Structure 1
Amino acid sequence: MNCAVIQTGRIDPVVDFNLVSGHVHTITGGSNIGINSTFESMVNSECTSCEIEGDKSAYWTPLLYYDYGNGSFIDVPHGGSVVYYLARGPGANNTIPYPEGFRMLSGDKGARSYDNETYTVGNETYPATPIAERVSFVCLPDGPPLPTYPYMFDTNCTNGMRAQICFQSCWNGVDLYLPDNSHVAYLSGIDDGICPPGYPFQLPTLFLEVNYAVEQVPDQTPNGQFVFSQGDPTGYGFHGDFLNGWDPALQAAAIDQCLVGDEFGVIQNCPVLNANDTNGYAVNCPERPPQIGEPVKGLLDQLPGCITITYGPDEAPASSMSCPESVPLPSVTSTMNSIPRATASPSAYGQQFGLPQQEYLGCFNDSAAGIRTLNEISVTNYTYMDVQWCQNFCMQNGYTYSGVEYTQECHCDNAINPTAKNGSIECTWHCGATITGDSLTEFTMPVQLCGGLGYINVYRNTNPNFDAFGSNANTAGNAKPYTPAAGFGPNYLGCYSDQVGNRTLTGHTVTQNNMTLEICAAICSAGPGYQYYGLEFASQCYCGNQINSPGMLLTSTTTPSNNSCQSRCMGSEPEVCGGSNALSLYVNPNYTAPIEKPFIGRYTAQKCVTDPNTNGRALQGAFTTSVNMTNEYCVKYCLGLEFHYAGLEYGDQCFCGKSFTSKRGETKEFHAHEHAAGDAISSSDGVGFTVCSPGDLLTCSGNLHEFCGGPSLLDVFYSPTL
């Protein structure tokens, strides 16, 4: 579930109820969030900045800043969070909803180093895990994402840095909240496993992702650093809070019907949630003015709250994360609890809204590329835009058809593009004028709908005396009917969803203004070639060897639907090249799958080895990485350094060693052929043999026809002699 920011400031009604919090948070969710928010106030929020309208919970994490090293700080842009609700462990079938009034905190704001002493409670079947594993970071480069670590290991990320936190899933069944957070506990494996004694109830596993646009921070300096709002430059102190605001019936139905069996928590796979989904959440529920009267964004001369940066490894003292009593508190605007407003659906005149003699025709797909659904003239006006305003504008300019789109756009024409398709359910964005009104809390008229992203609500003037005097020079009626591209039908897999920073195909990308299906197919078939190719937004071509989650096949019943793939290819208008965040996906019929080589010289292939990736690697003798990585490259590198083991990981990484190392530092030499999948290399934990499943492996960066391990998975070669 995607969520946009609803409030930013020193607000934390979980830890600091009715007080100014010690540090700044960015909050997503229900619009009633404030320093004294409760379950009752949250469920009565006017709206939510999350895409499930029945979830008015609040989720918050510390704001990330950039420290220029000269006493100046600036906030790092981020658009909100992604929230996952998952069912994990053997008790998943007994998951219960969050009770009314429930709240919790995950993480330790004062942590500045890895805590390898505090573990969850487990057993022999479900071993304990360091609680520090609840936090993880991943750098998002071009291509596949890098491995995750429990600290900010790399902030030089071309597509941003993602912070992740897993919440507690086990509840004592008594307390809705305790200040020491002991009313909840983690599963033995943090995001999997069993609940400890004393916590008989399993709740949904809440997993939160926040993407920080670290690459967009201007004028970064050699002495600069990224630091979280509580003075944490390490990331070990990343944390998250949750205040339940779910509609009880909706949450119970979603858990009962959809939670178990959906590994990734995809909304479109759950009918009860899909019916409650809207892609206009960020527009329909914009960020509220700050409740705390102090600057927290832009260029600052200190971190808000008198915060002092601390580097650890010891826990940050409380004094470094609070102001002295002599410092006056900022002003606090009284929390005004809004109430939900009705949303009026567009319809024929005489019902919800619209001028007299205006007929509602439906929700059509639209595209900024090529000829639009209504193409003659358009105007953008967020403040005044509603259906009546647009209809008046088009009438005054002599056009029969009017259409509202993207909350603030009005389009006019005397004909409708014959290639446009009607009947979409994507027109869910509220009109700008009915979002703002006189004030966010006092405006009482019903909310109107003004299309969506790439979708337009179209109306027709039915007045028989209307003079359609507007120019028809660029009318959409001149658009050529769509004809499918010949020869590509058998290889077409469908219209797939796509996301910036989390691409469905991650192998190779090309954008050019003459893009066609043939050009993209040739690009992705060149050299070793890729198994899949896809086109998007008229000019973009993507290649890859696997269809990555959360990319999914869009159909007529999903949100968004397969009507999203409607952009005409810039190099050949009859052809379709995807759409906005929608990929026309094809399979390459001439693709040759990569192979697992049985041996390279005297080195023979072993079973794969899980890599603990926490306190050191499984192979710790030597390491290298290369964009030209192959099996041969890695074996030759390790042989030259006289190591018996060569292991490849993540497509471009090579590790060497004379023995394997477990999480707790034990070393031992094992031969994979002597062990079955799942055998532990060490009696403690961490490293174990597993079958090398192609679905878990990535192709080598230097040869797409070979596998080079996977995420936290070593593809191992071994030689007893050198």
Structure 2
Amino acid sequence: MGRERRWFTVLICLVIGGALTVAILGVSRDGGASHGTAGTTAAPGDFVDIRDVPPARSEPLRGPDASTGTVTIDCGRNEEAHYNEDNLVISPGLRGGAHHTHAYVGNLSTDARSTDASLAAAPTTCRGGDRSTYYWPVLRRTDRPATHAYEKAAGHGNAGEILQPAEVRLEFGGNPVGKVVPMPRFLRAVTGDAVALTAAGDQNVRARWGCASLPDRFTTRYPRCPAGDRLTRTLTFPSCWNGLDTAGPERTHLAFRAANGVCPEDTFAVPELTIRLAYDVPGPDVPIALDSFPEQRHSPITDHAMFVNVMTDARMAAVADCLNTGRHCRQ
């Protein structure tokens, strides 16, 4: 009888311990609501009414030598349904290494096995012939079932209808305090942190969610936009290059400029890429979830994007010249 009582006590302790573990994992870093779930949907605490988000601080003042131009590139909205679970920038050669689905515009051949040579020879969706590759994790409506094979391929709790952006805007900008130099061909870049929920710090978090009607308000949570408004994602890449490498461990070849626009010592300002995505979400209560690694539980802070520059040297030089001379160009 004593042995049975001891086993019963052990069982009760295990149950209580498991419940406490779940509760701890469900608490956000700010002590409030949980970030995401292990299933297919995001948690209620991952959402915020955009009207409760304060306006963002303004950009730094431009200096007399600022490169004030812009270059916009039209590469479509992925009408070709180019999706896969690879990540050429983070895990080259590893098929399915992302464990979630990425959407692409630009280079039509991009997958884990791509090489510089294969990218340079591939067709592109960009109207001006830019063969660069631009990609990001998909956003889903979790109240609607997946119907296409590419929607069902990721698994790992990533399920539901993939939302195609109503607008994809690719724009290169200059630097607020000085001129930019051209990017090297085949430069790899990443913005955001795909493992932000479980990371030791938030230094790599770059998620900027918003609503089209309030362009000066950004949040790291999923925004509840007014009915008829568009939900937005803004993904800005690092623009300070070390002058040596096109790729590197721990993102050491590229850095973000400081808030005042200044690049770190021993780096050079290059064109700053921003990807802006806008989605038609019919109402503020529609359940959405960003594709993620299972342990990241669809947290909105894990938003990220990747880029490989496959422009010719001449085309990239034209981008830098447009920015440095303060013009507004389209390619």
User: TM-score interval w.r.t. the shorter chain?
Assistant: 0.5 to 0.7
1:42 correspondence with 2:119: yes
Q: 1:136 to 1:232 in 2, by over 3 A?
A: farther
Q: Deviations over 1:297-356 (max 9, x none)?
A: xxxxxxxxxxxxxxxxxxxxxxxxxxxxxxxxxxxxxxxxxxxxxxxxxxxxxxxxxxxx
Q: 1:97 to 1:205 in 2, by over 3 A?
A: same
Aligned to 2:224: 154
Q: How does 1:637-652 map to 2 (within 5 A)?
A: none
| SS of match in other structure, 1:153 | strand
| SS of match in other structure, 1:104 | strand
Q: 1:69 to 1:251 in 2, by over 3 A?
A: closer
Alpha-carbon separation, structure 2, partners of 1:160 and 1:233: 20
Aligned to 2:104: 27
1:98 correspondence with 2:160: no
Aligned to 2:291: 229
Query: Quick one: which amino acid aligns to residue 196 of structure 1?
Result: P
- Given the alignment, which residue of 292, 308, 313 partners 1:243? 308
Query: Quick one: which amino acid aligns to residue 229 of structure 1?
Result: D
- Given the alignment, which residue of 206, 228, 234 partners 1:164? 234
- Higher gyration radius (CA): 1
Aligned to 1:488: none
Q: How does 1:438-457 map to 2 (within 5 A)?
A: none
Alpha-carbon separation, structure 1, partners of 2:199 and 2:281: 23
- Given the alignment, which residue of 247, 259, 280 partners 2:323? 259
If each structure's helix is expressed as a fraction of its own residues, which one has the higher value?
2
TM-score (norm 2): 0.64
* Shift in Å, 1:42: 1.9
- Given the alignment, which residue of 262, 281, 285 partners 1:194? 262
Q: How does 1:348-497 map to 2 (within 5 A)?
A: none
Alpha-carbon separation, structure 1, partners of 2:244 and 2:201: 30
8 Å CA contact 1:139–1:146 kept in 2: the answer is: no
Alpha-carbon separation, structure 2, partners of 1:213 and 1:107: 23
8 Å CA contact 2:183–2:270 kept in 1: the answer is: yes
Alpha-carbon separation, structure 1, partners of 2:167 and 2:118: 22
8 Å CA contact 2:291–2:298 kept in 1: the answer is: no
Alpha-carbon separation, structure 2, partners of 1:83 and 1:12: 20
* Shift in Å, 1:86: 0.6
* Shift in Å, 1:245: 0.8
Alpha-carbon separation, structure 2, partners of 1:37 and 1:89: 35
1:64 correspondence with 2:134: no
8 Å CA contact 1:39–1:100 kept in 2: the answer is: no
Greater relative contact order, per chain length (Cα 8 Å cut-off, separation 6+) = 2
Q: Deviations over 1:496-551 (max 9, x none)?
A: xxxxxxxxxxxxxxxxxxxxxxxxxxxxxxxxxxxxxxxxxxxxxxxxxxxxxxxx
| SS of match in other structure, 1:250 | helix
Q: Deviations over 1:615-647 (max 9, x none)?
A: xxxxxxxxxxxxxxxxxxxxxxxxxxxxxxxxx
* Shift in Å, 1:146: 6.3
| SS of match in other structure, 1:60 | strand
8 Å CA contact 1:114–1:150 kept in 2: the answer is: no
Q: How does 1:132-151 map to 2 (within 5 A)?
A: 132=205, 134-141=206-213, 145=215, 147-151=217-221
- Given the alignment, which residue of 76, 80, 83 partners 2:170? 83
8 Å CA contact 2:237–2:272 kept in 1: the answer is: yes
Aligned to 1:181: 251
| SS of match in other structure, 1:3 | coil
Q: Deviations over 1:217-267 (max 9, x none)?
A: xxx9x6x631111055442111010011102112112312x112548x542
Q: How does 1:320-335 map to 2 (within 5 A)?
A: none
Q: Unaligned stretches of 5+ in structure 1?
A: 119-130, 268-272, 274-722
| SS of match in other structure, 1:150 | coil
8 Å CA contact 1:3–1:80 kept in 2: the answer is: no
* Shift in Å, 1:204: 0.5
8 Å CA contact 2:187–2:247 kept in 1: the answer is: yes
Alpha-carbon separation, structure 1, partners of 2:216 and 2:176: 26
* Shift in Å, 1:156: 5.1
Q: Deviations over 1:443-463 (max 9, x none)?
A: xxxxxxxxxxxxxxxxxxxxx
Alpha-carbon separation, structure 2, partners of 1:116 and 1:11: 25
1:3 correspondence with 2:75: yes
Aligned to 1:362: none
Query: Quick one: which amino acid aligns to residue 136 of structure 2?
Result: T
* Shift in Å, 1:137: 1.6
Query: Quick one: which amino acid aligns to residue 261 of structure 2?
Result: G
Alpha-carbon separation, structure 2, partners of 1:211 and 1:117: 25
Percent of aligned pairs sharing the same letter: 23
Q: 1:17 to 1:115 in 2, by over 3 A?
A: closer
| SS of match in other structure, 1:215 | coil
TM-score (norm 1): 0.31
8 Å CA contact 2:207–2:301 kept in 1: the answer is: yes
Q: 1:261 to 1:147 in 2, by over 3 A?
A: farther
Q: Deviations over 1:68-105 (max 9, x none)?
A: 399962212225621111111223x2x12221221011
Aligned to 1:211: 278
Q: 1:254 to 1:69 in 2, by over 3 A?
A: closer
8 Å CA contact 1:163–1:211 kept in 2: the answer is: yes
Query: Quick one: which amino acid aligns to residue 102 of structure 1?
Result: L
Q: Deviations over 1:161-216 (max 9, x none)?
A: 11001100111122211131111100002xx61111242x2211111111122228
| SS of match in other structure, 2:246 | coil
Alpha-carbon separation, structure 2, partners of 1:166 and 1:249: 24
8 Å CA contact 1:15–1:179 kept in 2: the answer is: no
| SS of match in other structure, 2:247 | coil
* Shift in Å, 1:14: 0.8
Aligned to 1:422: none
* Shift in Å, 1:115: 9.7
Number of aligned positions between the proteins: 239
Aligned to 2:55: none
Query: Quick one: which amino acid aligns to residue 49 of structure 1?
Result: T
Query: Quick one: which amino acid aligns to residue 237 of structure 1?
Result: T
Query: Quick one: which amino acid aligns to residue 86 of structure 1?
Result: G
Aligned to 1:127: none
Q: 1:157 to 1:8 in 2, by over 3 A?
A: farther
